[in-house]
Each structure stands twice: as structure tokens, then as C-alpha cells.
Structure 1
Amino acid sequence: MALSTNCWKYLVLTFNALFAMSAVVMFGVSGFLLYRLFVYRHFIGVNVEYPAILLLMMAIITCSVAWIGWRTAKSMHHFHIVLTGVLIFLVVAVQFSCFVWAMVVWDSVDIDIKNSMTSFFDVANEVNNPNSPESIRWDRLHVQKGSVPFSCCGQGPLDAKFKPYTADCSTLYQRGCAKPLHQYTRQQLLMVAMAALISSVLQK
């Protein structure tokens, strides 16, 4: 009987250790994905970041549940064991909900990006200052997404001597940054969704 109890105790301790390790990994993954979305927060809208924020919070909560489970395994009180099981079930359920939420946002992210970019562009136009934070952020977005900033549209020498020219901005801006940003955001959201799904499957 004592041997059976010890085996059960070590089994529970091992499970909680693995549970805590998965939480640490999830904390790092969700934090990294949240950062990649946060970089473009001015253009994608804060709603897009919520699934990643929830996943990061669940990683922290999972560490707490693992600690409770570790303490429970030492005492082996029936009530505490049941409580830990319920908490683990809730963590898994919320993580699966995070997967669903991320996929819903993934499906409608183009609307959020369009609205956010339009609002930000209007603000940048109202400021009408190429050195304002809004204009700098807008230029940086174009550069990071493989396009060109507004500062590239201007006058300059065609050669070193006699032929000045004016850049053809109508040609220069045929490819914008909305589509690359849209693809980038969908990719990050898909990674958030997969991380939440894998975590919920492994932890249940």
C-alpha cells in the first residue's frame, strides 16, 4: 500500500514538473509572438494582440497551477488533488478557447488592419510634419515591409552634372505595405493559434 502511494505521488510530481516546463516554454513562445505583433500595434489594432496576450497570461497561470499541484502531491489530500485537476481542466479549456479566438481574429484581421492603417494615415496627414512620430513610424513601416518611405519621393540629380529630375511618385508607390503587413499579421496569429492548440493538447 505504501509502495503504491509512493508511486502515485512520484507520478503526480513528474506530471507537475512537465506541466511547469510546458508553461515556461509557452511563456517564451507567447511572449515572442506578442512582441512581433506589438511592434506594429499602431497599424494592426490592439484587438489583434488579445489572443497572444491571453496565451501569455495562461502561461503564467499554468506555472501557478503547477506549483499548486506540486504542493498537493506532497500532501496527497483528496480535496487538493481534485482542485488541482479542476484547475488544469480550466487551463486547458481556456487555451483551446485562445486557439479558437486566434483563428476568428485571423479570419477578420484584414478589416482591423484596414481601419487601423486608415486612421493612422489620417493622423499623419493632419500633423503634416515629416519629422513627427507618426510620419517616422509610417516611413519605417514601408521600409520594414519592403516598400519605400515618403522621403524617397523628391528631387535629385539624374547624373553628376546637368540633368535634374523629379521622382515619379505615381510609379514609386504602386506597391503599398498593407498587403505585406496583412500577410505578416495572419502568419503571427496562425502561430499563436497553433501554439495554443498544441499546448492544450499536450497538457490535457
Structure 2
Amino acid sequence: MALSSNCWKYLVLTFNILFAMSAVVLFGMSGYLLYRLFIYRHFIGVSVEYPAILLLMLAIITCSIAWIGWRTAKSMHQIHVIIAGLLIILIVVVEFTCFVWAMVVWDNIEIDIKTTMTSYFQLTTDNKDTNADAYRWDRLHVKFECCGVSGPSDYSSSGHVPFSCCGQGPLDSVQKPYTADCAKLFQRGCGNLLHDYARQQLLLVAMVALTASLLQSSGIFCTFFLAHAIKERRRASLRHSISVREAFAAPDDSLLSNPTAPAPTLPKY
């Protein structure tokens, strides 16, 4: 039983190393996906980023739980090992919840993006003095090769279409910013393209959360098997101690069973 508990101990220690490594990978991937959503937050809304934010926070917490699991596996205290297993269960459950949340947002994102983009477009056209908003639209036009929310017709009320709608983005302020001859406008709107982009990022967030929850769930079994092995080892140790005490406390019946045996002599000093 001692060998079995030691085997589970080293398995749990190995899992916690992999657990910490997965947390680092999870942190990098969730941070990257959050960045890809964050740079278009004015067009898609902040609520789309919440699953990625939760996944990033889970990556940080996972590192702490991996350290706790390492310490408890080395100490071989049953209650501490069980607590570490419960923490791993909590992380896995929240990661799966993050997967479900990302898929729900992925399914309902079209209406949210269209509403957010339309409101932001109206705000940009109303506040003509705000260069930052116009610059964001220029970057969006050049990046996705699109124009407006639904197409160039969105700028009919303003009387002119920005040069970014034909691929000419804002240059350095020292140079001439809009001097290109816009011969061909992008006819497609940015709404559908940004919708597909956001859905792709959310799908990646969901897949990362699901993969992490499935891989990290293996540590639950290892941890609780270790707790069970510690319990069985303590029971075996207790039974051995009781048997030893009973052996020393038992009366010597050898004289009764063998009357011809020589009587014990007193020690000589």
C-alpha cells in the first residue's frame, strides 16, 4: 500500500507540473484572443470580451492551485489533498462554464454587433471633430477592405466617403493624409465581416476553455486516488500498530501448554 501511495504521489506531482504549464499556455492564448477582441471593442462592444477575460483570470488562478497541489502532494496530508482536488474541480467547472458562455455569446453576437456598430457610426458622424473615432473607422476599413456598416451608402448623409474606403488609410500627420485618388470603393460593409471575425475569436475562446477543462479534469482522479491511498496506508499502519501492541500484551501460555519446560531462572548479577 505504501508503494501504491507513493506512485499516486508522483503522479499527482507530475500532474501539477503539467497543470502549471497548461496555465501558462492558457494565459498566453486567452490574452492573445482577448487582445484581438479588445482592439475592436468600440465596434463589437465590451460584453463580447467577457468570456476571454474570465479565461484569463482562470489561468492566473490555476497557477496558484498548481502550487497548492504540489505542496499538498508532498506533505501527504489527506485533508489537504482533498481540498486541492476540490479546487481543481472548481477550476474545471468554471472553465466549462466559460465554454458554454462563449458559445452563447457566439450564437447571439450578430444583433449586438450590428447595434453597437450602428450606434458608434452615428456617434462618429455626429462628432466630426473627434479624430480618434474617424481614425478607428479608417483602420477598420483598410484592415477588412470594407466601408461603413452596410456599405458606402452609409456615408450618403455626410456627402463624402473617406479615402479609407478604397484602401488609403491615414498616413503620418506630417505627410498628406488623404491624397489618393479613390477610383474604386469597397462595396461591402464592415458589419458582416466584423461579425464573422468576432465569432471566430469567440469560437477559439470556447475551444480553448473546453480543451483546458477536459485535460485538467484528469488531475481530479489522480488527486482523489492519492487521498484514498493515503487513507488506506494509514489504516494499514494502524492495524499493524494494534497487532504489535496485542502481541506484546498477550500473556505467556507456554508454561501451561508445556509443563516439562524448565522454569525460568533469575538473572545473576
Give the TM bin, normalised by the shorter chain. 0.7 to 0.9
1:167 deviates by 6.4
Q: Any idea what the Cα deviations from partners look like across 1:111-152, whole Å, max 9, x if unmatched? A: 1111211121121111113x6101111111111111257135
Aligned match of 2:72:
72
d(CA) in 1 for partners of 2:103 and 2:28?
A: 21
1:27 deviates by 0.8
Q: Which one-letter code corresponds to 1:191 in the other structure?
A: L
List alignment gaps of at least 5 residues for structure 2: 148-160, 167-180, 218-269
1:8 deviates by 2.3
- TM-score between the two structures when normalised by the length of structure 2: 0.66
Matches within 5 A, 1:96-175: 96-129=96-129, 132-147=131-146, 150-151=162-163, 172=185, 174-175=187-188
- TM-score between the two structures when normalised by the length of structure 1: 0.86
Q: Which one-letter code corresponds to 1:151 in the other structure?
A: F
Q: Which one-letter code corresponds to 2:193 in the other structure?
A: P
d(CA) in 2 for partners of 1:93 and 1:99?
A: 10
Pairwise CA RMSD: 2.1
d(CA) in 2 for partners of 1:13 and 1:68?
A: 11
d(CA) in 2 for partners of 1:4 and 1:187?
A: 46
Q: Which one-letter code corresponds to 1:30 in the other structure?
A: S
Structure 1 segments, 4+ long, off by >6 Å, are none
- 3-state SS of the aligned residue for 1:172? coil
d(CA) in 1 for partners of 2:196 and 2:137?
A: 18
d(CA) in 2 for partners of 1:24 and 1:42?
A: 29
* Greater per-residue helix proportion: 1
Residue 195 in 1 paired to residue 208 in 2? yes
d(CA) in 2 for partners of 1:147 and 1:125?
A: 17
C-alpha distance 196-152 of structure 1, shift in aligned 2 (>3 A): closer
Is the 2:51–2:102 Cα contact (8 Å) retained in structure 1? yes
d(CA) in 2 for partners of 1:117 and 1:51?
A: 20
Structure 1 or 2, whichever has the larger Rg, is 2
C-alpha distance 136-68 of structure 1, shift in aligned 2 (>3 A): same
- Identity, % of aligned positions: 65
Is the 2:138–2:164 Cα contact (8 Å) retained in structure 1? no
